[in-house]
């Protein structure tokens, strides 16, 4: 395991500690605002306005995951529908992301499929694209099954995410090719065992480029979701060399991360979207952001000290 993976494992393990969690939830909100637009939909829509001024579009995401009851699933669905409708009143590209465990995937695939279907019907009315985020490895198969059912049901306003650190992902991409999916390629942010996930950053990066290039070679509209400057530059070079137009893919980065790069890419004519999370259930998302870079742990420690 390389140093990056060791650091990530350490942080994600600490994040499970209830004392640490309580401390961050009460005193770390200033740091959280680096990555989370706010607690409310109204704050998230205000963040969209700010991004659009820089030529950057938004992906809105109501935070929350792994609900434990059907009632909670339906509450999340109602809030996501409210998000879609509110976003639909704005004169910008509309793009929403969600996790199927928000819609009860762990309770029933049929429940998640049914609730997602209703969301996609509302999204069609609002000309809104809905991305299904990928979660940890035990949920990949169920997520892909629901995605396939949705596409087979005629919904083309949805897409899926593939994680380059999972050893299975190249096969998953190949099996999805007949559906011509809109894919987002990410490295992966969950703590995964060596049996299922690559642990060496160099291999993960290599797999990332392999997946992104294979998707584009097969004509898939591809979201290149990374902050890694080497990967960004390589994808710019490779697509130009292959004659793949800027309309065939886009760059996606996280809200609050590399803002200057987001503006720079947009000014160069690329489609750029920032992933804008909001809501009160921000701790799991924040812990994964802290785990990505040692510098983030320094920021959160400072925030805890300063309150």
114: which 2 tokens? 């049914």
Are the CB atoms for 286 and 306 separated by under 8 Å?
no
User: Residues 133, 136, 172, 205: which is the catalytic one?
Assistant: 133
User: Residues 151, 184, 273, 289: which is the catalytic one?
Assistant: 184
Q: Which residue's entry shows tokens 């809030």?
A: 79
Sign of CA dihedral 145, 148, 153, 155: positive
121: which 2 tokens? 């019907």
- What's the full length of the chain, in residues? 307
Of the CA atoms within 13 Å of residue 16, those in its CB half-sphere come to 7
> Is 133 considered catalytic here?
yes
In angstroms, the CA 151 to CA 301 distance is: 44
> Is 184 considered catalytic here?
yes
Dihedral pair phi/psi, residue 180, rounded to 5°: 50, 55
The partner residues of 278 in beta bridges, in order of sequence, read 62
Residues tagged active-site: 133, 184
């Amino acid at each position: 395991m390389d140093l990056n993976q060791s650091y990530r494992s350490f942080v994600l393990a600490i994040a499970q500690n209830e004392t640490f969690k309580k401390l961050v939830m009460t005193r770390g909100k200033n740091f959280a605002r680096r990555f989370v637009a706010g607690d409310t939909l109204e704050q998230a829509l205000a963040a969209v306005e700010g991004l659009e001024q820089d030529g950057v579009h938004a992906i809105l995401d109501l935070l929350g995951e792994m609900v434990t009851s059907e009632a909670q699933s339906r509450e999340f669905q109602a809030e996501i529908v409210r998000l879609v409708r509110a976003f639909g009143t704005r004169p910008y590209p509309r793009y929403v992301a969600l996790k199927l465990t928000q819609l009860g995937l762990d309770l029933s695939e049929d429940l998640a499929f049914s609730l997602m279907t209703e969301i996609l019907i509302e999204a069609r009315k609002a000309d809104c694209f809905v991305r299904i985020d990928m979660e940890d490895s035990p949920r990949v198969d169920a997520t892909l099954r629901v995605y396939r059912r949705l596409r087979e049901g005629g919904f083309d306003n949805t897409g899926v995410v593939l994680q380059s650190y999972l050893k299975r992902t190249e096969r998953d991409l190949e099996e999805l090719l007949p559906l011509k999916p809109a894919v987002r390629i990410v490295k992966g942010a969950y703590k995964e065992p060596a049996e299922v996930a690559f642990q060496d950053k160099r291999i993960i990066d290599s797999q990332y480029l392999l997946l992104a290039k294979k998707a584009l070679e097969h004509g898939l509209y591809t979201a290149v979701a990374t902050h890694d400057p080497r990967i960004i530059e390589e994808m710019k070079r490779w697509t130009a060399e292959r004659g793949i137009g800027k309309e065939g893919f886009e760059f996606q980065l996280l809200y609050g991360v590399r803002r200057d790069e987001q503006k720079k890419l947009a000014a160069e004519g690329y489609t750029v979207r920032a992933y804008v999370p909001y809501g009160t259930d921000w701790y799991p998302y924040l812990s994964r952001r802290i785990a990505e870079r040692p510098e983030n742990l320094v920021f959160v420690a400072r925030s805890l000290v300063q309150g």
